[in-house]
Amino acid sequence: MAQPRVLVVGGGLAGLAASMRLAELGVSVDLVSLVPVKRSHSVCAQGGINSVNALTRQQGDNEWKHFDDTVYGGDFLQHQPPVKEMADWGPRIVDLMDRLGVPFNRTPEGFRDQRRFGGTLYKRTAFAGATTGQQLLYALDEQVRRREVEGRIKKWEFWDFLAPVLDDSGRCCGAICQDLVTMQFRAFPADAVVLATGGNGLIYGRSTMSMVCTGSAVSRAYQAGAWYGNGEFIQVHPTAIPGADKLRLMSESARGEGGRVWVPRKPQDPRDPREIPEAERCYFLEERYPKYGNLVPRDIATREIFDICTTDGLSVEKDRLCVYLDLTHIPRETLNRKLGGILEIYEKFQGVDPRSVPMKIFPAVHYSMGGLWVDYERSTSGGMVEGSPRNQQTSIPGLYAIGECDYQYHGANRLGANSLLSCIFSGLFVAPTLAAVAAGRGGAADQRLFTAGLKREEERHHALLARTAGTENPYELHQELGNLMTRVATVVRRNDQLAAAYGEVCAMEERWRRCAVSDTANWTNQNVVFTKALGDMFPVAKLILKGALLRDECRGAHFKPDFAMPGLAATDPVAKRREAEEWCDRFAENTQKWLKSTIAKCGADGSPQISYQDVDTSLIRPRPRLYGLVGAEAIEEVWKAREAAETATPVGAGA
Ligand SMILES: Cc1cc2nc3c(=O)[nH]c(=O)nc-3n(C[C@H](O)[C@H](O)[C@H](O)COP(=O)(O)OP(=O)(O)OC[C@H]3O[C@@H](n4cnc5c(N)ncnc54)[C@H](O)[C@@H]3O)c2cc1C
């Protein structure tokens, strides 16, 4: 009988974790990656990885609270069993990475040091300086190399996943990939295929993400029939360093170590920020959210920064929107030890030492909560059934998705430092599933399917190479797409703009068909690879826009002012109570109508067909997401009273 074989596409944290575990389970792995796996985008992750730990347990923390923070942070849009399972695995994952040699920062006593990240009141984030992603990635890479030497894993670096191969029953039985050096095509038959291909920030042009994060592999799977979930939920990180070429992240860890966000109370105060006295500074996050302060979740911090600059006119500079992120009150030695990596990035690209001068930052596109829809099997204890063939499976049988490219764990807003956890967790957790599926398969797939798949991709490729007389430049078209998406589908969304943008993206997609490639050589041709990836950005851009257009509410990162639920205006206690009751009524109605996952299916004409799926909120009941906003106490009071009344009502009682 043939050895079970799995194709893992993507060698970031999710792909490496899955490959390592599969090899341990005796499954042979082909590991395909666009870039050397050690250059996968995960290497850029800075701030840390979340899990409950000994320190937070002493303060009353536990896995359930981590789970609760994650679903509250995600505005309840994620199915709860997978999130619960992930939070339960957190401590084991950080211990595992520690054992694999990740140099986590230590306290003087030798314990793992922890910092606080957004959306929680506990110091749950383990970190390795400000280069946590790199340390985690290198540790997993070592394990994968070990299995490579044993012959269990075969790596294919500089290979592009072009399409899944489906058999006559619609089951995925392999993929077609292309060598980016020789430009040769190759079929990869497999008992199961798992995509671990990361995010798609490049659809927005400039973002904090690496330049390979085009989302091409996911788009290709979507166009082949895989459903896409919650596409409209794009995270805009509150603190990035604006740059002409790209936007560089200033990690949340800067605020986790005590960094404070402020603007001068006087618009565009020309003084050196160090000379502006405390009384003349507005620490707007601390003033509005005293409980969470600078560590409110990202969607809220981003909107507040955007608002203080655009609505209140308090941007530090007139021609370039920005606010101060201040670390200057923290000792230099502490900053170097805990944040060295990111401070060097600021210094290098801005020419200013952030240890002595407040940084200037502004929000930037950072992460995609949405991704390929994947399934799971719920266990009796409310988590997931380990090894179930449904876990992480896309709507195409035999095709799985893990890491940032699935939609499963973060709902409407991801909490900082939860992504590295979800990537490693989904990689480790999917492995027994894949091993069982692969073992149960057996028998070679029909060779004709691969021959046909190869022919189709070769023809597409050569048709593009032959297009030398086109009128469109792919790089300029990409810039146009990015500018448009950034303008209409980031912090603030309006229906008229989204509808118009959808039409414009369709027109750009048409223009893409007239793109010419300037390099026609069939050797390391980056030009043709980028042009293909650009073509695959349009279907995903369309589903983001359409999902955003149809979702008439505000939830997490998706904010439409026309459907906002502003705080209470009344000051008189009786009127305030009445307003709070009305607010809670509206919240309950909105939850009923919109607490649903958006599912996009690619129509025959390439346009997204949108439907909705109920969310499993059986473990934690959805509640208003206020984070202790000043003035919102009355809403919290009313909501808690309603919850208490419902819990007090015996089951089966009532009309
Ligand atoms: C600057 C920055 C800092 C961050 N810091 C943190 C942090 O501190 N904590 C946290 O939790 N999260 C953080 N995140 C988020 C986190 O880094 C990512 O969500 C996570 O690393 C994604 O890992 P992944 O394994 O899913 O994908 P990636 O690491 O993006 O890997 C994707 C892989 O897929 C391959 N691939 C892609 N397309 C194709 C194709 N067509 N064919 C073949 N291979 C392909 C790539 O070569 C790569 O190997 C940060 C994000 C950014 C942008």
Dump pLDDT digits (tens) for 493-504.
999 999 999 999
Confidence of residue 470 (pLDDT cuts 50, 70, 90): confident
Please say if the pLDDT value at position 529 is more than 90: yes
Q: Cα separation of 197 and 226, whole Å?
A: 15
Identify which of 188, 42, 54 has the alpha carbon closest to the alpha carbon of residue 128. Answer: 42
Instruction: For the chain, give the number of residues.
Output: 655
Q: Is 42 in the pocket of ligand 1 (CB under 6 A)?
A: yes
Amino acid of residue 567: G
Q: Whose CA is nearest to atom 5 of ligand 1?
A: 45
pLDDT of residue 654: 41
Amino acid of residue 347: E
Nearest atom in ligand 1 to 421's CA: 11
CA of 41 to the centre of ligand 1 (A): 4
pLDDT of residue 390: 98
pLDDT of residue 511: 97
Q: Please, which residues bridge with residue 242 across strands?
A: none
Average pLDDT of the residues of the chain: 95
Residue 37 tokens read as 């796996």
Q: Whose CA is nearest to atom 9 of ligand 1?
A: 417
CA of 545 to the centre of ligand 1 (A): 23
Q: Whose CA is nearest to atom 31 of ligand 1?
A: 12
pLDDT of residue 628: 87
CA of 203 to the centre of ligand 1 (A): 15
Best residue for ligand 1 mutational test, from 207, 419, 461 (most atoms within 8 Å of Cβ): 419
CA 135 to chain centre: 20
Identify which of 33, 54, 131, 82 has the alpha carbon closest to the alpha carbon of residue 386. Answer: 82
Alpha helices in 32-79 (DSSP H): 54-58, 63-73
Please say if the pLDDT value at position 655 is more than 80: no
Best residue for ligand 1 mutational test, from 105, 420, 421 (most atoms within 8 Å of Cβ): 420
Identify the helix (H) or strand (E) that includes residue 187. strand 185-189
Q: Is 160 in the pocket of ligand 1 (CB under 6 A)?
A: yes
pLDDT of residue 631: 84
CA of 210 to the centre of ligand 1 (A): 8
Please say if the pLDDT value at position 1 is more than 70: no
pLDDT of residue 649: 65
Nearest atom in ligand 1 to 402's CA: 26
- pLDDT tens figures, 313-339: 999 999 999 999 999 999 999 999 999
Q: Is 34 in the pocket of ligand 1 (CB under 6 A)?
A: yes
Which of the 8 DSSP states describes residue 295? G
Please say if the pLDDT value at position 177 is more than 70: yes
Please say if the pLDDT value at position 629 is more than 70: yes
Alpha helices in 466-572 (DSSP H): 474-488, 495-512, 526-550
Rounded average pLDDT over 400-415: 98
Q: Whose CA is nearest to atom 35 of ligand 1?
A: 10
Q: Cα separation of 130 and 338, whole Å?
A: 6
CA of 198 to the centre of ligand 1 (A): 5
Q: Is 90 in the pocket of ligand 1 (CB under 6 A)?
A: no
Please say if the pLDDT value at position 473 is more than 60: yes
Q: Is 202 in the pocket of ligand 1 (CB under 6 A)?
A: no
Sign, CA torsion 552/553/555/559: positive
Q: Is 437 in the pocket of ligand 1 (CB under 6 A)?
A: no
pLDDT of residue 125: 97
CA 618 to chain centre: 24
Residue 299 tokens read as 């969607």
| Share of residues in the chain with pLDDT > 90 (%) | 92
Q: Whose CA is nearest to atom 44 of ligand 1?
A: 33
Q: Is 537 in the pocket of ligand 1 (CB under 6 A)?
A: no
Q: Is 9 in the pocket of ligand 1 (CB under 6 A)?
A: yes
Please say if the pLDDT value at position 371 is more than 80: yes
Contact 540, 200 (CB under 8 A): yes
Best residue for ligand 1 mutational test, from 21, 29, 42 (most atoms within 8 Å of Cβ): 42
Q: Cα separation of 220 and 274, whole Å?
A: 51
Confidence of residue 653 (pLDDT cuts 50, 70, 90): very low
Rounded average pLDDT over 6-18: 98
Q: Whose CA is nearest to atom 2 of ligand 1?
A: 45
Q: Cα separation of 282 and 91, whole Å?
A: 38
CA of 328 to the centre of ligand 1 (A): 31
CA of 10 to the centre of ligand 1 (A): 9
Q: Is 125 in the pocket of ligand 1 (CB under 6 A)?
A: no
Q: Is 196 in the pocket of ligand 1 (CB under 6 A)?
A: yes
| Span of 138-147, 199-208, 373-382, 564-573 with lowest mean pLDDT | 564-573
Residue that wins the pLDDT comparison between 611 and 246: 611
Residue that wins the pLDDT comparison between 141 and 441: 141
401: three-class secondary structure by DSSP: strand
Cα-flanking dihedrals φ and ψ of residue 466, to 5°? Answer: -80, -10
Q: Is 35 in the pocket of ligand 1 (CB under 6 A)?
A: yes
Rounded average pLDDT over 408-432: 98
Identify the helix (H) or strand (E) that includes residue 591. helix 573-594
Q: Please, which residues bridge with residue 240 across strands?
A: 249, 362
Best residue for ligand 1 mutational test, from 31, 35, 41, 46 (most atoms within 8 Å of Cβ): 41
| Share of residues in the chain with pLDDT > 70 (%) | 99
Residue 245 tokens read as 């070429």
Rounded average pLDDT over 94-122: 95
Q: Is 132 in the pocket of ligand 1 (CB under 6 A)?
A: yes
Q: Is 256 in the pocket of ligand 1 (CB under 6 A)?
A: no
Contact 170, 397 (CB under 8 A): yes
| Span of 53-57, 72-76, 155-159, 182-186 with lowest mean pLDDT | 53-57
Q: Please, which residues bridge with residue 155 across strands?
A: 31
pLDDT of residue 600: 98
CA of 305 to the centre of ligand 1 (A): 26
Neighbouring CB atoms inside 10 A of 154's CB total 13
Active-site residue (options: 5, 116, 298, 378): 298
624: three-class secondary structure by DSSP: coil
Q: Is 529 in the pocket of ligand 1 (CB under 6 A)?
A: no
Q: Is 207 in the pocket of ligand 1 (CB under 6 A)?
A: no
- pLDDT tens figures, 256-274: 999 999 999 999 999 999 9
Q: Cα separation of 526 and 478, whole Å?
A: 15
609: three-class secondary structure by DSSP: strand
The position carrying tokens 């022919």 is 455
Q: Is 208 in the pocket of ligand 1 (CB under 6 A)?
A: yes
Identify which of 183, 126, 201 has the alpha carbon closest to the alpha carbon of residue 481. Answer: 201
Q: Whose CA is nearest to atom 51 of ligand 1?
A: 45
Neighbouring CB atoms inside 10 A of 590's CB total 16
Confidence of residue 191 (pLDDT cuts 50, 70, 90): very high
Q: Cα separation of 449 and 187, whole Å?
A: 10
Residue 215 tokens read as 């989302």
Please say if the pLDDT value at position 165 is more than 60: yes
Q: Whose CA is nearest to atom 6 of ligand 1?
A: 45
DSSP string, 407-474: -SS-TTSPPTT-HHHHHHHHHHHHHHHHHHHHHHH-SPPPHHHHHHHHHHHHHHHHHHHT--S-SB-H
CA dihedral (236, 237, 239, 240) in degrees, to 10, reads -70
Contact 207, 249 (CB under 8 A): no
Residue 289 tokens read as 């959210």
Q: Please, which residues bridge with residue 292 across strands?
A: none
Q: Is 418 in the pocket of ligand 1 (CB under 6 A)?
A: yes
Residue 17 tokens read as 């974790």
- Angle formed at CA 72 by CA 590 and CA 574, multiple of 5 degrees: 60
| pTM, to two decimals | 0.96
Is residue 514 flagged as an active site residue? Answer: no
CA of 517 to the centre of ligand 1 (A): 28
pLDDT of residue 650: 57
505: three-class secondary structure by DSSP: helix
